[in-house]
Amino acid sequence: MKILVRGTNWIGDAVMSIGALRELRRLFPEAHIALHTRLWAEGIFRDARFLDELITFDDGDSDFRSMFRQAKMLRSRGFDLAVILPNSYRSAAIVKLARIPRRFGYSREGRRFLMTDPIDVPEWKDSRHEVFYYLEIVREVERRILGTQTVDDSNAAVKLDVSDARVAAARDILKDHGIDCQRPLIAIGPGSANSRAKRWPAANFGRFIDHVGRELGSDIVLLGSKSEEIVGAAVSAAARTAPVSLIGKTDLAEVTAILSLADAFVANDMGLAHIAAAVGTGTIVLFGPTKHETTRPFSPETVVVREPVECSPCMLRDCPIDHRCMTRIEPERVFTALCDLLGRAKAADVD
């Protein structure tokens, strides 16, 4: 059997879909499973052993001609089954045009007629973690294709492998920027590409970095995309302890490998936080306007720090008032959470 999975459109969602992809592999161990996804996602899934193939497309390919080009290419590959993870009409339309015989996905955006096996959105959609939302599609695939029901929520493992070669290359990148990999490394994600309201103030990040440098003696590296360079510069300017900024200087595959080397990652609610947790790095995420219950990194090693104010979660991209959900999170509180996280990790190493 040849199975096509249409991947998600954001970094965090891509990572949160890993549990579903792993379960799909368990159910169909002999199948050829291909992930049709945006070009940037290759950096996340490059070493994924639960996939046989990555079929990527460019983010800029959004016109009708690109839809038909993608559909024609997929049709020529002879897929038997399609699992559509995004909710968009476009993703379902491409798979329909590709004439894949069985097409599974949620019945949203008026696209029920595009699928042979539409799935109703679960009643618990807004109260349970997004990991289970993707897993539910695979549960339905198993029930309708195999006639069994073995998919279990406890099997939703969100784990990513990083090859030894990529780890070695990441060490070289850090070394080239003056970071000694023999010392503790704290990575920081000060940005958030799609929402200013998610960002902890630069002054707070600066005070936190000074605590880390002064009291832990750790190397500190800032990570993020090129669009977050201004945010990174503001954080660097606010800190007396100068961090090494790799913001905009690495691709997603390199950042993933660097995160696997870090002792901890401290960040806003952003895609890199999901990657850090998936590669096994202890992660602290600062939540404000978004719902931590449904979108936090899916790992027991993740610590959520938030201030429960009356207007949160508002889900707004810009705060119309005083941004109290983020400004009230004190740097000392985050530093204490980091020390606790590092202490647990050290205790686990001793055990």
Over the stretch 171-224, which tens digit does the pLDDT of each residue have? Answer: 999 999 999 888 899 999 999 988 899 999 999 999 999 999 999 999 999 999
- Given a cut of 60, is residue 351 above it in pLDDT? no
Question: What residues contact 194, with CB distance under 8 A and at least 6 apart?
Answer: 10, 317
Q: Which CATH number fits domain 2-155: 3.40.50.2000, 3.30.460.10, 1.10.10.10, 3.30.70.100?
A: 3.40.50.2000
What percentage of the chain has pLDDT greater than the value 70? 97
Mean confidence (pLDDT) of the chain:
94
- Give the Cα separation of 122 and 190 in Å (integer): 34
Residue intervals in the chain for CATH 3.40.50.2000:
2-155, 164-350
| Alpha carbon distances (Å) from 77 to 93, 214, 322 | 17, 57, 53
Radius of gyration of the chain (CA): 21
Q: What is the pLDDT of residues 158-184, one digit of tens each?
A: 999 999 999 999 999 999 999 988 889
Q: What is the pLDDT of residues 73-125, one digit of tens each?
A: 999 999 999 999 999 999 999 999 999 999 999 999 899 999 999 999 999 99
| Arithmetic mean of pLDDT, 3-31 | 97
CATH fold of 164-350 reads Rossmann fold (3.40.50)
CB of 281 within 8 A of CB of 259?
A: yes
